[in-house]
Amino acid sequence: MRVLGVDPGLTRCGVGVVEGVAGRPLTMIGVGVVRTPADAELGQRLVAVEQGIERWLDEHRPEYVAVERVFSQHNVRTVMGTAQASAVAMLCAARRGIPVALHTPSEVKAAVTGSGRADKAQVGAMVTRLLRLDAPPKPADAADALALAICHIWRAPAQNRLQQAVALHAARSPITSKGRTA
């Protein structure tokens, strides 16, 4: 499985591609950051993020895109920019028919470090260890993008089985859409 992880942001949008399957060693295919000038107009910045993600999709041909789920922060301006960059990443993937998965920061931290409260340094250290890198990717947005991809590779099989079980149960259930038995 090849996954493009996207740590959305308007100034720095982390991107990283990891390949592998759960339970086996993973391989980093590429890592980087799509940057936009902080003084540019919002529309221009979003176009720059789109162009950067499109380049990564063209070059690495992922089977899945894993994007950090935006969560409420104290700074509304920051969360809006993150949400906008996140939407651009999802749009780029959807245009190509690539499935998108959203993972919360705590899910990613828990998957990679074992603790949903891990700090950036711990995430970077574990990404370095898991991908057998010489040093943690810089900046932290790049390491976070790789962590998202790793999280998705490890969580996707269980999530797929759960979705299949729910679909099978729904297909066999005699309950109608109005909550009454047929």
The answer to the question of residue 181 being in a domain is no
The pLDDT value given to residue 159: 67
- Which H or E element spans position 78? helix 76-95
Catalytic hit among 41, 50, 141, 144: 141
Number of structural domains found in the chain: 1
The answer to the question of residue 180 being in a domain is no
The answer to the question of residue 98 being in a domain is yes
**pTM to 2 decimal places:** 0.87
Is 68 marked active-site? yes
Assign 22 to helix, strand or coil: coil
Is 54 marked active-site? no
The answer to the question of residue 38 being in a domain is yes
64-68 and 2-7 beta bridge pairing:
parallel
Catalytic hit among 19, 41, 59, 68: 68
The answer to the question of residue 179 being in a domain is no
Is 39 marked active-site? no
Q: What is the Cα–Cα distance from 89 to 66, expressed in whole angstroms?
A: 9
pLDDT in tens, 104-134: 999 999 999 999 999 999 999 999 999 999 9
64 touches 99 (CB < 8 A): yes
The answer to the question of residue 93 being in a domain is yes
CATH number at 38 reads: 3.30.420.10
Q: Domain containing 135: what range?
A: 2-172
In the chain, pLDDT over 70 holds for what percent of residues? 90
